[in-house]
Structure formats: structure tokens, C-alpha cells
Amino acid sequence: MSRAPRLHPDGLTRCPWPGEDPLYVAYHDTEWGVPEYDDRALYEKLILDGFQAGLSWITILRKRDNFRKAFDDFQPEKIARYNAKKVHALMNDAGIVRNRAKIDGAILSAKSYLDIMEKGPGFSKLLWDFMDGRPKVNNFKTTASVPASTPLSVQISKELSSRGFKFVGPTIVYAFMQATGMVNDHLVDCHCHASCGKTQRKPRLKVK
């Protein structure tokens, strides 16, 4: 189905996927497609995109604060040390997606992340070097034109897999690239298309 941008009651035209959900609209306007260069924030988003596999993003978005509390604010140095007792607690946490393979994958990915941070080149640099440090701006008119994966997402997927990351298939990686502004896939008539690459991400307060 070819879905074009929608005019919202506030007078702004947006991509059709957030619908009228205030949480989803806010995410669309302030986060999705805005370039992210922070190493830890990139790890968090990659893990959440892995948890999304087979689900809708709004499901994860509604549980994001619960995920942050459950996973120690996605601090890889803590997650890498999770033991069987912690995994058991996560599997009994109704506030998150309770999937053993994905929980184990987050732990293995944290270890891989720390390896990249300690031995180089750093997680953000590893990812953004694929883009020569700059977002790729696309000019799609409908959601039907937006790909599920690209040759570049396949390349990044292979690189991450080779380093021990889990749940980093080409489709998950492309969704991650869209969300973190590595590519700008806001539809060309969406009000965010021209601005998201210039928007500065606001540092968020850590979960206590």
C-alpha cells in the first residue's frame, strides 16, 4: 500500500506511520531520523530494535522506560556482567518483552560493545564511518518506496555479527539506521525531512 504523508490537526504534515498517537508523534518529531553520535545511546537503540523483532515499534516505545530501569539504563559495562539470577529476574519482569534469546543477545552484544570501545575504534565511529560521518538523505514520497534493508545495512549487519552482536540482521540494522539518523527516511513532504539532520539531540536524564 502506497501511504503518503498526512496533514495533522496541528497543521503539520508528517509521515503516516505514527498516526495520531501522541507518544508516537513525539518520537517521530523529536527522535526518529535525528543523528545520534553517542556510543551508549546507539547501543541502547540497537538493543531495543532487536527486542522489536516480530513486534511493532510502538510496543517497545511504550515499554522503553521499563526497559531502561530493568537494564540498568542500558549501561553496557553493567549488562555485560549479568548472571543467571539477573536473567531470571528479567524473564519475570512483566514491564519488558520477556524473550530469553533477546535478553541473552543484549548481554553478548554488551560484551562486543565493550570490546570495540576498549580496543577501538569506538562504537559510534565504527557505525558512522560506514556513512563517512554524515547522514544519507533520501527523498521518498510514500512509505511504499522506503526499503526494508539496503546493501549498506547488509554490510553493517555482517560487520556487527562478525564482532559478536546478536539480533542485528539487515532489516533490524536498517530500522536502527533510520531511527538514529544515519539515513533520513522522513518522507520528502514531512515537516521533519528538512530539519531532522540539523536538530541536536537533547541529552536525556538517566533513569534512577
* 88 assigned to a ligand binding site: no
Q: Which three cell numbers stand for residue 100?
A: 530469553
* 196 assigned to a ligand binding site: no
CA–CA distance, 179 with 47 (Å, rounded to integer):
13
* 190 assigned to a ligand binding site: yes
* 28 assigned to a ligand binding site: yes
The CA distances from residue 70 to 44, 46, 93, in Å, are: 12, 16, 8
H/E stretch holding 13 reads strand 13-14
Alpha helices in the chain (DSSP H): 22-30, 39-52, 57-70, 76-79, 84-91, 100-119, 123-129, 151-162, 170-179
Q: Which amino acid is at 114?
A: L
Extract the annotated binding site for Zn(2+). Answer: 15, 28, 186, 190
Extract the annotated binding site. Answer: 15, 28, 186, 190
